[in-house]
Structure 1
Amino acid sequence: MLKRLILAGFALAAAGAAANAEDFSKYSEDALRAMLAEEADVEKKVLVPMRDGVGLSTDIYRPKGAEGPLPTVFWRTPYNYNELSGGRLRFAAESVNRGYAFVVQNERGRYFSEGEFEILGYPRTDGYDALDWIEDQDWSNGKVGTLGCSSSAEWQLALAAQDHPAHAAMVPMASGAGIGRVGEFQEQGNWYTGGVPRSLFFVWLYNVDNPLRAQLPSGLDPATRARIGEYNDLAASKPEVDWKTRISHLPVSDMLSGLGEPPATFDAFIQRKPDDQDWFEGGLYHDNEDWGVPALWFNSWYDVSIGPNMALFNHVRENASDAEARENQYAVIAPTPHCQFFDLGPDTVVGARNVGDTSFDTTEEIFAWFGKWLKGDETAFAADTPHVRYYTMGLNKWQSAEVWPPQEAEPVRLYLQSDEGANSLYGDGTLMREAPAGDGSDSFIYDPMIPVLTIGGGDCCNGGIVTPGAFDQRPVEAREDVLVYTSEPLTEPMQVTGFVDAVLAVSSDAPDTDFAVKLVDVAPDGTAWIIDDTIMRARYREGYDTEVMMQDGEVYTLDLTPMTTSVEFQPGHRIRVEVTSSNFPKFVRNLNTGGENYNESEGVRAANTVHHGAEHASWIELPVVQ
């Protein structure tokens, strides 16, 4: 009975009727595959030609009996889709059910696609050529919507700069690793934060970058290629790695080669500086490019790069030369980790914190968006939809605004201060609205061989070395090398929504070191929930295009990459800021030598100081919605 009901929905769509949308999330993957096999015309392992002759393996799903050209939902991925599963399977079924063609394609150098792999899959050429091919098909109405999360979203950004005439709309979800430089953020695809390398791509590249991959011989006919795909998915099975142990290996440059991996992407990237010209030659989107596509963005507070995502959203709205593209950028920001936009609902737990009822119908929102831009239904996506919809933690509700941050947000500066010392949770570090008078400072010893460990926060895709989300920070706050500054309990709610700036006056006896900052919500029972964090390598304080070492005894100002969030600190809660010099394994340790770090095996201890006097103040600035 269940299958007959679902198939009926397919039949209605295929006949061009206005079928009511099904909730495909409640059906098993086997049922969805059976439906597609019976109710969709399917072509598998089609080699779509690129301009250099390389063919990209592509599967096409179209409703049987559909009359007239179809709009297309396009999902491009470096991952194995030989047997559709997860989101790709559900969206193939959803698309066919709603009268769309669904096209899924492997990037070059992955599985059944030809060529050599490169991160983001040549979006400026391969992406453009794929749209050319879709547009030219007899079954296409010439309108394509790109869709996907993480790697299937990141490539869309550089493609949007090409403004292909068939690229009618896009839905980039958790797309930060596709951003090179935008405004204050120069993360080069999440490789850096504040000039400090992140560890997540070390694990990701081990699993994805496979220069020894098996490939089919060229010249096979389509039927043979499809037949091979029925019993061989060309998926490499690499040896398991205990990443929680391996991530501590030094030098970092041997992280993968020491596992027996041949030279590949990691070996090139680990040597690049944040401003290396090679970052500007690949598939990353940079803020010197135009933008030509309406976009519905999905981001989340505990993802790896919420800041660049929201900065790019603003950049497009302010700078795209195409008025239609400028005016049609919409963002939805959930309180979840990476790509968990389909898990929203009652009693959502993020990390260890219950953030309430986050219910949001992501699927319906996506197809309303595509209905407007791919089918020409102006009523599908409501004209009065707010440009920004965001979930405020603490308040635990969805809110909306027309701009980001909300126009009502006003900066409130809190200064770091202490009398006897802010070392650890048991010090007397405070956050005060009044600027400090006199002189003050807090010092600690940073030993890179005994780093402060990461507990939660925004992260992803890291082999289990960090679990993202809201977790209690008191275990690290108990350390003497963590400075802790805490406000008095609030007497009324304080809603913080937008970019959170942190500025530190620092000194060190090391030529180079890192300073890490964390924003924390302290509950009345003492639980210290992480909200967001940031970090900066001191040598880049004057810009990523130059490196300037520190001199012992000199005080320097660090303007760290902003944190980004929406949280309401409730009455009785306290606002806390942590400052230290490591956040490992989320970020690679600075060995304090002033050297290259990536090729060094020994670190030295650094005596680091945060100043908070009248002459050298340190502070955090919160965007407070009055």
Structure 2
Amino acid sequence: MGRRSVIVERDVEMQTRDGVTLRADVYRPQSAQPLPVLLQRTPYDKRFSALSFALMAADRGYAVVIQDTRGRLASEGEYYPLLHEKADGYDAVEWAAAQPWADGQVGMFGGSYVGYTQLAAASERPPSLKAIAPTMTFCDPYDMAYTGGAYSLGLSVSWALGSDALLRAMVLPEGPEKAARLEQVIDLMDGMASGDTFRRLPVADMPLIGRSHPPSFFADGLAHPTRDAHWRQVACAYESLDLPILHVGGWYDIFAAVTLSDYAGLRRAGNQRQRVLMGPWLHGPFEGLVGDVDFGVRASAAAVLPDEVQFRWFDHWLKGAENGAMDGPPIQLFVMGENRWRTEEEWPLARAQATTFYLHSGGSANTAAGDGALSMQPPSEEPVDSFVYDPRNPVPTRGGGLCCWRAALNAGAFDQRDVEARPDVLVYTTPALEQPVEVTGPVELCLWAATTAPDTDFTAKLVDVGPCGYARNVQDSIVRARFRQGGPQADFIRPNEPTEYVIQIGPTSNVF
């Protein structure tokens, strides 16, 4: 079959319910028949977002609409992240479905924030929205901004600078003001890699993105450290998301935990029309090379064909194709260590056995050369382990689920031995395993600790040590002491009093 001729329409206007003009680019094949629509709503510039996917989709008989969200680039209105995506998303879906070239059926696609715009629209239940395919995203934006009660400073600063401050500078009229603003943004972005940007205090007064530059989503997020009304207004209730959903996530993605918890929560709420594709990927490309570790060709886009996975999904739900998109187990996950794909019926796995490992030491678990041990034997009376935390020289993050500036926040799998050589890091390691051990499911650490401060952060990391000593990070997380209970109020700790902390390290599938 020959290629179709594609009609491209730029800056096609629609009106939201409150009278704001949003503009989209439309890609559609020359066809006398009405077509199903694939819609993407993006704050990242419609001219460059998913262009190759749009052309492929048009060639396969879809009309593709890529719209700038409110206040971004070609669209009018005031930009404030997340706030208008529910109502604007509903309006965009129904507008697209009513176009003369549309058959009334709409699907949505895209990742990260563009995944959230799908969930936000879907939570309003527009009747023409038949299926979505959110990639590496979240139902509740609080889970984007906070982990274990700690503000996700790296993500928040890098995203606000790179996607907000930089874009605002680029659209200024040519002249000295624009040049000066761009220099300031670039200096702050370069300062992330050196650490200078992150050391600025108070954090809420960060140049260009802080409270002196309203409206400041960054500063507002800092001011709302619990799951309060600020976050609830933009959260997507599981009960309202009852349409077919294809979730795509990665073990080294910053949203790995919420990808799977959202799936499980939606399933508990009654949505049985879901599928999950969970690879070893970080927040971005579908590649087998994740950080410094190569998980092989099976993990790469060349083998997975993520675009084809999405087309199969939309062909089934928008075109009625009997292509097996809903056949078989709903979860396809990549087992690291074995480096192979496997299907599962549920998450967490019903057949998984919750297994407890205990921390042991003779009182000197500092560094990988210390006497920290990890075993299934419950501890007896043992001395405490201690370390000195110096906020002027914090333990660096080396890989893991990070976003959104690679020079400063390089995500993925890396050797942790340099980190484990620090005296302010406690390391607990099993003896060499006699046989492979698979860990598939959520991992948590129950920690009893005391500190001289009324508040602090504790972090935990699961590491796979290879025969040569290479220490690959598998998952990690954090808890802020005053929010250790997860409730709406801060509960500061009593200095020097042993306190229990439960750190949700995160989900994984790894053979040690």
TM value normalised by structure 2: 0.91
Distance in 2 of aligned mates of 1:208 and 1:271: 21
Report the equivalent of 1:249. 200
**Deviation (angstroms), 1:397:** 0.4
Letter in 2 for 1:246: T
Aligned with 1:442: secondary structure?
A: coil
The answer on whether the counterparts of 2:23 and 2:75 sit within 8 Å (CA) in structure 1 is yes
Residue 35 of structure 2 corresponds to which residue in structure 1?
70
Q: 2:293 maps to what in 1?
A: 353
Counterpart CA distance in 2 for 1:98 and 1:72 is 11
Q: Which residue of 1 aligns with 2:316?
A: 372
| Local SS of the residue matching 2:230 | helix
Q: Which residue number corresponds to residue 2 of structure 2?
A: 9
For 1:461 and 1:553, how far apart are their aligned partners in 2? Answer: 37
Distance 1:162 1:415 in 2: 46
Alignment counterpart, residue 546 of structure 1, candidates 489, 493, 501 = 489
Moved more, 308-317 or 259-268: 259-268
Deviation (angstroms), 1:291: 1.4
Q: Which letter maps to 1:476?
A: V
| 2:164 counterpart residue number | 209
**Gap change, CA 1:523 and 1:215, over 3 Å in 2:** closer
Give, in angstroms, the shift of residue 76 of structure 1. Answer: 1.1
**What CA distance in whole angstroms lies between the structure 2 residues aligned with 1:352 and 1:336?**
12
Report how many aligned residue pairs link the two structures: 491
Between the aligned partners of 1:389 and 1:298, the Cα distance in structure 2 is 10
107-116 vs 159-168, greater mean Cα deviation: 159-168
Q: 1:273 maps to which residue? A: 225
1:475-490 superposed matches below 5 A:
475-490=418-433
Matches within 5 A, 1:448-597: 448-462=391-405, 464-569=407-512
User: What's the CA shift string for 1:377-422, capped at 9, x where partnerless?
Assistant: 1x12344232000111111100110101222211111000101410
In structure 2, list runs of 5 or more residues that go unmatched.
173-180
Deviation per CA, 1:291-348: give whole Å up to 9, x if none: 121011100011112111100001111104xxxxx1210000010111323x4xxxx2
Deviation of residue 436 (structure 1)?
0.8
Task: Pick the aligned partner of 1:305 from 226, 246, 255.
Answer: 255
Q: Could you say which residue in structure 2 is the equivalent of 1:197? A: 151
> For 2:453, what is the secondary structure of its paired residue?
coil
Task: Give 1:159-170 correspondences, 5 Å limit.
Answer: 159-170=121-132
Q: Distance in 2 between matches of 1:382 and 1:285?
A: 25
Q: Which of 342, 346, 351 matches 1:403? A: 346
**Match for residue 328 of structure 2?**
385
CA deviation vs aligned residue, 1:487-533 (integer Å, no higher than 9, x gap): 01111111111101111011111111111000000011111000010
Look up the match of 1:240. Answer: 186
Q: CA deviation at 1:120?
A: 2.8
Distance in 2, Cα, partners of 1:542 & 1:363: 41
Give SS of 2:2's match: helix
1:261: how far off?
Answer: 6.9
CA distance in 2 between counterparts of 1:290 and 1:260 reads: 34
Whether the 8 Å CA contact 1:203–1:463 is kept in 2: the answer is no
Are the equivalent residues in 1 in contact too, given 2:204–2:210 (CA < 8 A)?
A: no
Contact 1:153 1:173 (C-alpha < 8 Å) held by counterparts: yes
Match of 2:284 in 1: 339
SS of residue paired to 2:110? strand
Distance in 1 separating the partners of 2:505 and 2:289 = 25
Q: Against the structure 1 CA distance between its residues 214 and 352, is the aligned structure 2 distance closer, same or farther, given a 3 Å change threshold?
A: closer
Percent of aligned pairs sharing the same letter: 37
Question: Which 10-residue stretch deviates more, 517-526 or 535-544?
Answer: 535-544
**1:174-212 CA deviation, whole Å, 9 max, x = no partner?**
113x524xxxxxxx0411110111121112112333596
Task: Tell me the secondary structure at the aligned position of residue 311 of structure 1.
Answer: helix
Q: Contact between 2:39 and 2:66, CA under 8 Å: does it hold in 1?
A: yes
- Bigger Rg over Cα: 1
- Aligned residue for 2:353, secondary structure, equals strand
- Cα distance in 1, alignment partners of residues 469 and 328 from structure 2: 39
Equivalents in 2 of 1:376, 1:490: separation in Å? 50
Tell me the equivalent position of 1:61: 27
Sort the Cα spacing of 1:383 and 1:54 in 2 relative to 1 into closer, same or farther, 3 A.
closer
Sort the Cα spacing of 1:214 and 1:538 in 2 relative to 1 into closer, same or farther, 3 A: closer
Residue from 63, 67, 90 that aligns with 1:105: 67
- TM-score, normalising length from structure 1? 0.75
Structure 1 residue 135, shift from structure 2 partner: 1.6
Could you list the structure 1 runs, at least 4 aligned residues long, displaced by more than 6 angstroms after superposition. 213-216, 258-261
Map 1:68-217; keep pairs closer than 5 Å.
68-82=33-47, 84=48, 88-120=50-82, 122-176=84-138, 178-180=139-141, 188-198=142-152, 199-210=154-165
The 3-state SS of whatever aligns with 1:516 is strand
Counterparts of 2:251 and 2:84, CA distance in 1? 29
